[in-house]
Amino acid sequence: MAKYGPDVFSVLAKQYGPIFRFHMGRQPLVIVADAELCREVGIKKFKDIPNRSIPSPIAASPLHQKGLFFTRDSRWSTMRNTILSVYQPSYLAKLGDVTFSDLSLKLATDVIGKAAFGVDFGLSKPISDKMNHHQGDNEVQEFIKQHIYSTTQLKMDLSGSVSIILGLLVPILQEPFHQVLKRIPDYISAVTYEQLLAGSATTSFTLSSIIYLVACHPEVEQKLLAEIDAFGPDDHIPTANDLQKKFPYLDQVIKEATRCYIVSPLVARETSAVVEIGGYKLPKGTWVWLAIGVLAKDPKNFPEPEKFKPERYDPNCAEEKQRHPYANIPFGIGPRACIGQKFSMQEIKLSLIHLYRKYIFRHSPLMESPLELEYGIVLNYKHGVKVQAIKRK
């Protein structure tokens, strides 16, 4: 099998069309790579395909199966409603000011730490502050260190055989995860840990993508800085409402960056009854994987899909008006979509506003070009996004 890398589903979609069937061993699997069909799966047929089915080190842990990702039906909906209340925009406003650090994973982990656990991990504080900061239990610090290690070091090998390509992990890579999960009952439940897992690597990847893309598009940078500067002086902190309404260009930049670098190229479901999608009758127990990474690069909806053009999301632009509403769904689709969407959008906006008020960024000569990606728990930058920060004014 050729070495495909993260674009494996684009290659398969070109070969087999927007919906194609597979078997993984005896497990029937359907891959969907078209906006309209994804809508059908996500909304119309949701009742028939409620739970996830991507094999992963997370799914392998019996403890984690108690979390939101892998529970079903009424238990899932009770849990989800409880958790959702934490991630309302007004809740983030109450958390106060967040300072961006060059390590966005630490920043994102800190923010979730405060929101989900009410604990200040202090990861993104300068070292001098950390010395004075109440660190609490050493074991908690050790747990967080392991968490950061697991989120960055776990790899899915997408260049191996089909079964590996389709998401199975080399068992040895599961070990760091098991180490982390073993510690959880002492501190927090599986559900809260899930928030940390789902909310840190994803948000950090998106922040890094934006910094990377804006740094090599001076016209975008100029427009973005103008919008941020026009909001007011540096000590004028935007409210939740300001973030939603007063930064339309920043919105476009974030949407376009999540399209160019989609953090989770696959979204998964499993049929719990016979169901018909796109003319196929799928038996109960079929895995349905939505290849949302392929959608995001579909030239029908995004002409010149490889180009970074935030203006394509301008509400007045013809491209935006004609586009299928589910053409780019980086947070998934339907009742089972990401619970942290609004929360992470606010977190990303607030971080970027703070950041661009003080700095602009240029690519470091130490960074490879083009950037190399790899699969971890979600998509990740293989060698990181390396930039030089230049102080403004």
Q: Is 202 left (phi over 0), alpha (psi -120 to 50) or beta?
A: alpha
Q: CB-wise, 78 or 161, nearer to ligand HEM?
A: 78
CB of 374 to ligand HEM, least distance (A): 17
Hey, which residues between 245 and 284 contact ligand HEM (CB under 6 A)? 263-264, 267
Tell me whether residue 338 is annotated as binding. Answer: yes
Shortest distance, position 320 Cβ to ligand HEM, whole Å: 20
- Other residues' Cβ atoms within 10 Å of the Cβ of residue 162: 11
* Whole-angstrom distance, CA of residue 220 vs CA of residue 356: 12
Shortest spacing between CB 360 and ligand HEM, in angstroms: 23
Cβ proximity to ligand HEM, 57 vs 330, nearer residue:
330
Q: Is there a contact between 122 and 130 (Cβ–Cβ < 8 Å)?
A: yes
Strand spans (E) along the chain: 19-24, 27-32, 267-270, 275-277, 280-282, 287-290, 359-363, 373-375, 379-381, 387-391
Is 308 a binding residue for ligand HEM by CB under 6 A? The answer is no
> Cα 284 to chain center, whole Å?
29
Beta pairing partners, 391 = 359
Interface pick for ligand HEM out of 195, 252, 301, 328 (rule CB under 6 A) = 195
Q: Does 380 bind ligand HEM (CB under 6 A)?
A: no
Residue 293 as a binder of ligand HEM (CB under 6 A): the answer is: no
Among 4, 28, 80, 242, binds ligand HEM (CB under 6 A): 80
Q: Are 165 and 7 in contact (CB under 8 A)?
A: no
Distance CA 144, CA 112 (A): 12
Can you read off the two tokens belonging to residue 218?
A: 């001076």
Looking at the Cβ atoms of 174 and 200, the one nearer to ligand HEM is 200
User: In whole angstroms, how close is the CB of 167 to ligand HEM at the nearest point?
Assistant: 14
Q: Is 118 left (phi over 0), alpha (psi -120 to 50) or beta?
A: left
Q: Are the CB atoms for 93 and 350 separated by under 8 Å?
A: no
Least separation, in Å, of the C-beta of 235 and ligand HEM?
A: 27
Provide the mask over 310-349, with x wherever binding to ligand HEM is found by CB under 6 A and - wherever it is not: --------------------xxxx--xxxxx--xx-----
Residue 257 identity: A
Q: Tell me how far, at minimum, the Cβ of 123 lies from ligand HEM, in Å.
A: 16
- Contact between 194 and ligand HEM by CB under 6 A: the answer reads yes
Measured over the CA atoms of residue 69, residue 75, residue 76 and residue 80, the dihedral's sign is negative
Q: Compute the least distance from the CB of residue 339 to ligand HEM, in Å.
A: 5
The tokens of 148 are what? 């950061």
Tell me which residues in 88-107 interact with ligand HEM (CB under 6 A). none
Positive/negative CA dihedral, 116, 340, 165, 40: positive
How many residues does this entry show for the chain? Answer: 393
Q: Report phi then psi at 126, rounded to 5.
A: -60, 155
Determine phi and psi for 290, rounding to 5 degrees.
Answer: -90, 120
53 makes contact with ligand HEM (CB under 6 A)? no
Q: Which is nearer to ligand HEM, 344 or 351 (CB)?
A: 344
Instruction: Annotate each residue in 143-182 with x if it binds ligand HEM (CB under 6 A) or - if it does not, as one string.
Output: ----------------------------------------
Burial of 31: CB neighbours in 10 Å, binned 0-12, 13-18, 19+:
buried
Q: 122 vs 340, which CB is nearer to ligand HEM? A: 340
Q: Distance between CA atoms of 136 and 153, rounded to whole angstroms?
A: 26
**Of 285 and 317, which CB lies nearer to ligand HEM in the complex structure?**
285
- Least separation in angstroms between residue 220's CB and ligand HEM is 19
Q: Minimum CB separation from ligand HEM for residue 222, in Å? A: 25
> Considering the rule CB under 6 A, would residue 203 count as an interface residue with ligand HEM?
yes
Q: How many residues bind ligand HEM (CB under 6 A)?
A: 26
By beta-carbon proximity to ligand HEM, the closer residue of 282 and 377 is: 377
**C-beta of residue 40 within 8 angstroms of C-beta of residue 278:** yes
Binding positions for heme = 338
Contact footprint for ligand HEM (CB under 6 A):
68-69, 80, 87, 112, 194-195, 198-199, 202-203, 206, 263-264, 267, 330-333, 336-340, 343-344
